[in-house]
Amino acid sequence: MSLFRKKDLSVMLAQAEDGGKGLKRTLGAGNLVALGVGAIIGAGLFVRTAAAAGQAAGPAVTLSFIIAAIGCAFAGLCYAEFAAMIPISGSAYAYSYVTMGETVAWIIGWALIMEYALGAATVSIAWSEYLNKLLGGGIPYEWSHSPFESVTDTAGVIHHGIMNAPSLVILLLLTLLLIKGTQESAIVNAIIVFVKVAIVIIFIVLGWQFIKPENHTPYFIPANQPPLLDASGKIVADYSGVFKHGWGGVLGGAAIVFFAFIGFDAVSTAAQEAKNPKRDMPIGILGSLVVCTILYILFGHVLTGVANWKDFVDPLKGREASVAYAISNYMTGYGWLATAVTVAILAGFSSVILVMLMGQSRVFFSMANDGLLPKVFSDLHPKYRTPYKSNWILFIFVGAFAAFVPGSVAGDLTSFGTLFAFVLVSAGIWILRVKSPEMERPFKTPLVPLVPILGAVICLAMIFALDAQTLKVAFGWMILGLVVYFVYSRKHSKLN
């Protein structure tokens, strides 16, 4: 049997039209844009912006956003063509199955676990940080951080994390909402998105008057920047690496903030639940990407202008809850805004987790329908028509990561999974154009093969800009995935 046996496109389209046994088509173009914005604006904006500025790019994090957005735009155009042409849940996994065969499809499906499941874990960790900020630090460090994290307070006492309990609570609540139904989840998400975007715009408008030009000088982190230390003298940031200063730091920052853009591709996982996918999927994918890119650039400019980028390295200053920190310490008279931002961020993070969990369950749904995963992942609730068993399994898996793994580790692995998916989707468009030029394409990616090639190259560059430890863990995860495929999935595939 060939390692690259492909699923017939006509079979896939028949599955997409199977309304009696499949998922309900309840989402319009507005719902899809809101889902995209709901997934995109969250931890990436409110947490990763400060992380990228403090670790690699400095004030030039705005340029990091532009580079990441360009890579996303190329990939987004490719996603839009696939989603309109093959309106079935499964996203990059489903597209790869048609164009590059089962082995590649499995690899990308396995990588998507890093994007959606770990993405949900990362954002739930950020949710916990902001809840603690809202409560004035009322949650003990030990019960809001992983066992692999520690902090030294001003008295010199070292606190070690035990587990991140608040992240488990939000994951449970959103799992229950997803089981209830897609339309209900979309309505809750739309309300949250409106509040979240409004608060982002308010911060940009009010924060603009507090920008200090000296915080943007120098714009790039200089090559001779000495390491930054915490209160105990421990090095918390080192800028000697090629991707830690100057233009290299901008690219390194792009790899970090790339996490901020995942979400528009999650829209494609809902293709089987869209009312008119041929028209609405491109609108949802590209519309949400455009809206968020504009907000990101403005937000990054204001945040690094209000507070110095070095503040975002110190764990006792602005490394956690960076936006609320900047407002509280540098925007005199706007203490109420810090509280409002924190509440809005908590709600916003909730919508991101919601879409990520939904996206992952839909990928599992498709993989189980193809026999590559056990049937339990495709079992639908008899009343709500949602993959409820998959949702519960996801809660256990994601909850374990959220409770016991640091957010920075999960976040970088999420970026790897996303970038890897983007590379294969970009390649898939070119392959399908060559092999099946006669297929109906309601939306066509422009300038093929230039756009797919640029999308793949930029995303590959950002993969290599990730730190070595992240790449090692990701490689180990992919090896584990191949073992699972050859031991279980290949034998149970319906293509047999």
pLDDT of residue 303: 94
Residue 424 placed within a domain = yes
pLDDT tens digits, 206-249: 999 999 999 999 999 998 888 887 766 778 778 888 888 889 99
Q: What percentage of the chain exceeds 70 in pLDDT?
A: 92
Residue 470 lies in a domain: yes
Question: What CATH number does residue 397 fall under?
Answer: 1.20.1740.10
pLDDT at 64 over 90: yes
What is the pLDDT, as a whole number, of residue 19?
46
Quick one: average pLDDT of 298-318?
A: 84
Query: Which of 294-303, 352-361, 375-384 has maximum average pLDDT?
Result: 294-303
**Percent of the chain scored above 90 by pLDDT?**
17
pLDDT in tens, 129-172: 878 877 877 788 888 877 777 777 667 777 777 888 899 999 99
Model confidence at 481, pLDDT cuts 50, 70, 90, reads very high
Instruction: Spell 163-200 as b/e; 16+ CB within 10 A means b.
Output: bbbbbbebbeebbebbbbbbeebbebbbebbeebbebb
Q: Span 419-432, mean pLDDT? A: 87
What pLDDT sits at residue 16? 60
- Structural domain harbouring 312: 30-492
- The pTM assigned to this predicted structure is 0.75
Report whether pLDDT(384) > 90.
no
The answer to whether residue 104 sits within a structural domain is yes
Q: What is the structure's pLDDT at 123?
A: 83
Confidence at residue 482, expressed as pLDDT on a 0 to 100 scale: 93
In a domain, residue 24? The reply is no
Is the per-residue pLDDT at 23 higher than 70?
no
How many domains would you assign to the chain?
1
SS (H, E, C) the chain: CCCCCCCCHHHHHHHHHCCCCCCCCCECHHHHHHHHHHHHCCHHHHHHHHHHHHHHHHHHHHHHHHHHHHHHHHHHHHHHHHHHHCCCCCCHHHHHHHHCCHHHHHHHHHHHHHHHHHHHHHHHHHHHHHHHHHCCCCCCHHHECCCCCEEECCCCCEEECCCEHHHHHHHHHHHHHHHHCHHHHHHHHHHHHHHHHHHHHHHHHHHHHHCCHHHHCCCCCCCCCCCEECCCCCEEECCCCCCCCHHHHHHHHHHHHHHHHCCCCHHHHHHHHECCHHHHHHHHHHHHHHHHHHHHHHHHHHHHHHCCHHHHCCCCCCCCCHHHHHHHHHCCCCHHHHHHHHHHHHHHHHHHHHHHHHHHHHHHHHHHHCCCCCHHHHCCCCCCCCCHHHHHHHHHHHHHHHHHCCHHHHHHHHHHHHHHHHHHHHHHHHHHHHHCCCCCCCCCCCCCCHHHHHHHHHHHHHHHCCCHHHHHHHHHHHHHHHHHHHHHHHHHCCCC
Q: 433-450: per-residue pLDDT in tens?
A: 988 888 888 888 999 899
Residue 487 belongs to a domain: yes
In the block, tokens 């599955």 appear at 15
